[in-house]
Amino acid sequence: MPNPRIDSKNDDCVEAASLSEHTIRRERTFQLFGSAILTGLLSIICGPFSAHTYCENRAIVGVLAFMSILILVLLIRNRGGALWKRVLSDLGVVICLLTTAGDVAFTWYATQWCRQMLIQPLSSSLSG
């Protein structure tokens, strides 16, 4: 014979688990938006602002671009129900897209610049 006390307890746990999962999923908007802003600021600081270390910073900027893509995917999956949460999520998506585009452009430019700096000393030492 089923025990009604155990069955009712399991039903409550299932309802609480589904409710808490739904609540937690919607509350990640703030953390993801903050992560998007932080990744964007770090990309600006590590990339174009550090002019003398372009060649060394390409890997760091590549990691930041990957993090930005990951945050972008999570922001798209985590669209909130309220209007202001959707606006915050959309702003985070725009920040992530701009960060990724900027990081890719910086990596391409830094690679071209580093190749030019590497070839220039080699050609001057060979001619002299």
* Domains in the chain: boundaries: 4-127
Q: DSSP letter string over 52-71?
A: GGHHHHHHHHHHHHHHHHHH
CA distance linking residue 123 with residue 1, whole number of Å: 90
62-120 per-position pLDDT tens digit: 999 999 999 999 999 888 778 888 999 999 999 999 999 999 999 999 889 888 877 77
Q: Is the pTM of this model over 0.75?
A: no
pLDDT of residue 104: 94
CATH code, 4-127: 1.20.58
pLDDT band at 55 (very low <50, low <70, confident <90, very high): confident
